[in-house]
Amino acid sequence: MPHPNDKRTITELVSDAVNQFSKLIRNEVAIARAELAAKASEAATGVGLLMGGALLLIPPMVLLLMALAAWLVELGLRASLSNLIAGALGLVVSAVLAWVGMTKLKPEHLKPKRTLNELERDVAAVKELT
pLDDT of the chain, 130 residues: tens digit per residue: 556 666 778 788 778 888 888 888 888 888 888 888 888 888 888 888 878 987 898 899 899 999 999 999 999 999 999 999 999 998 998 899 888 888 877 777 667 777 777 778 877 777 776 6
Give the pLDDT of residue 3: 62
pLDDT of res. 67: 95
The alpha-helical segments, DSSP class H, found in 1-112 are 10-74, 79-103, 107-110
Q: Is residue 2 part of a domain?
A: no
Identify whether 23 is part of a domain. Answer: yes
Residue 96: give the domain boundaries: 10-129
- Give the count of alpha carbons within 13 A of 79, CB side only: 1
With respect to residue 104, please indicate whether it lies within any of the assigned structural domains.
yes
| Domain-embedded: residue 106 | yes
Please state the domain count of the chain: 1
CB distance 65 to 89 below 8 Å: yes
Residue 66 falls inside a structural domain: yes
Alpha carbons 91 and 69: distance in angstroms, whole number: 14
Asked if the structure places residue 122 within a domain, the reply is: yes
| Separation of alpha carbons 43 and 25, rounded Å | 26
User: pLDDT tens-digit profile of 118-129?
Assistant: 778 877 777 776
Q: Is 3 inside any structural domain?
A: no
